[in-house]
Amino acid sequence: MKLIRARDYAHMSRQAANIISAQVILKPDSVLGLATGSSPIGAYRQLIDWFNKGDVDFSKIKTVNLDEYIGLNAENEQSYAYFMRKNFFDHINVRSENTFIPCGMNTDEAQECARYDALIRSLGGIDLQLLGLGPNGHIGFNEPDDVFTKGTHRVELTEATIQANKRFFESEEEVPRAAYTMGICDIMQALRVVMVVSGEEKAEIVKKAFFGPVTPRVPASILQLHKDFTLVADEAALKCF
Ligand code: GLP
C-alpha cells in the first residue's frame, strides 16, 4: 500500500486527479472504475479543468461505476447515474455509451448482478478503480459482514450508511434501503486501486481499515492485500497516526 499525505481536500483531489490523468494519458482506452459520494467530487472537478485546458482526453475511456440504489431510475436526481452525469460525464468527452452503472430499476436481481459482472469481464477488467470510504469502512456498498462477497450483489444498507447518506436526500425516509454494488473480487481484480479520504470524521475508520486486521467487518481492510493500492488522504483523515 502506498500512502499519499495531502494537506487538505483540495490537495487530495489534485493528487488523485494526477494519478487518474496519468492513467488515461498512458492508456487512452483505460477502463476506469468510478465512485460517487462527496470524496471524489474534487478529483472530478480537477479532471474537468484539465480536460478543458486540452491536457487530457477521455474520448476512448470506458467507465464502470461501483454501485447504484435499487428503485431509482437514471433520471432521478438522487441516483448515482445522475450524480455521475452532473459531476463528471456531462463535462468531458467520454462517450455516454461507454459509461456503465448497475441498473437500479432491474427487479431481477440475479440477472442484474450477473449482467454487471459479465460486463466488467467483457471490458477486460478495470485498469484503475477509484474509491471513497464509507464511515463504517464500506467500499462501494460492500457493508460490514461476516464474509467478503465476491461479485456484484444486492445489499441492504446499514443504518450507519442510511444516516451518512441522508444528507443527499430531502428526508431520511427517501433514502433507498438497498443497492446493487460491485463485489470485493470485482474491486480487488482492478489493476490499480486509488482511494480518496478526507476529514477528521474518517480518521478512526482509516486507522481500522489500513492499520488494523483484514476483516469483512471492515470491508476496506481487504485493500491492504491489493498489489497496487494507493491511499490519498488528507492530514485530518490521518490524524490517528
Ligand atoms: C456512498 C458510496 C460509496 C462512498 C461513500 C462515502 O455510500 N456508495 O462509494 O465511498 O458513500 O461517501 P463520502 O465520500 O461522501 O463520504
42 Cβ closer than 6 Å to some ligand 1 atom: no
Whole-number average pLDDT of the chain:
97
Q: What is the pLDDT of residue 150?
A: 95
- Do 7 and 234 meet the contact criterion of CB atoms below 8 Å apart? yes
Query: Whole-model pTM?
Result: 0.96
In this predicted model, what pLDDT tens digit does every residue of 210-219 receive, in sequence order? 999 999 999 9
Can you point out the beta strands (E) in 113-216? 128-131, 153-156, 178-181, 192-197
Cβ neighbourhood burial of 80 (10 Å; 0-12, 13-18, 19+): buried
What distances in angstroms separate CA 142 from CA 17, 69, 74, 111, 181, one per listed residue? 24, 13, 21, 19, 7
Range in 33-37, 118-122, 163-167 the model is least confident about:
163-167
How many A from CA of 175 to the centre of ligand 1?
14
| Ligand 1 atom nearest to CA at 199 | 16
Q: What is the pLDDT of residue 136?
A: 95
Residues with a catalytic annotation lie at 67, 136, 138, 143
Under DSSP, the state recorded for 223 is G
67 Cβ closer than 6 Å to some ligand 1 atom: yes
Domain ranges of the chain: 2-234
Rounded Cα gap, residues 128 and 157, in angstroms: 26
7 pLDDT more than 90: yes
Instruction: Cell numbers for 106, please give them.
Output: 432491474
- In the sheet with 178-181, reading across from the earlier edge strand, the strands are 67-69, 178-181, 153-156
Q: What is the pLDDT of residue 188?
A: 98
Nearest residue (by CA) to ligand 1, atom 10, is 132
Work out the average pLDDT over 217-238: 98
Rounded Cα gap, residues 62 and 32, in angstroms: 6
Q: Which CATH number fits domain 2-234: 3.40.630.30, 3.40.50.1360, 3.40.47.10, 3.40.50.2000?
A: 3.40.50.1360
Work out the average pLDDT over 44-61: 98
184 Cβ closer than 6 Å to some ligand 1 atom: no
In this predicted model, what pLDDT tens digit does every residue of 128-174 receive, in sequence order? 999 999 999 999 999 999 999 999 999 999 998 999 999 999 999 99
Instruction: Cell numbers for 189, please give them.
Output: 481484480
236 Cβ closer than 6 Å to some ligand 1 atom: no
241 pLDDT more than 80: no
- Do 177 and 214 meet the contact criterion of CB atoms below 8 Å apart? no
The phi, psi pair for 229, rounded to 5°, reads: -110, 125
How many A from CA of 187 to the centre of ligand 1?
15
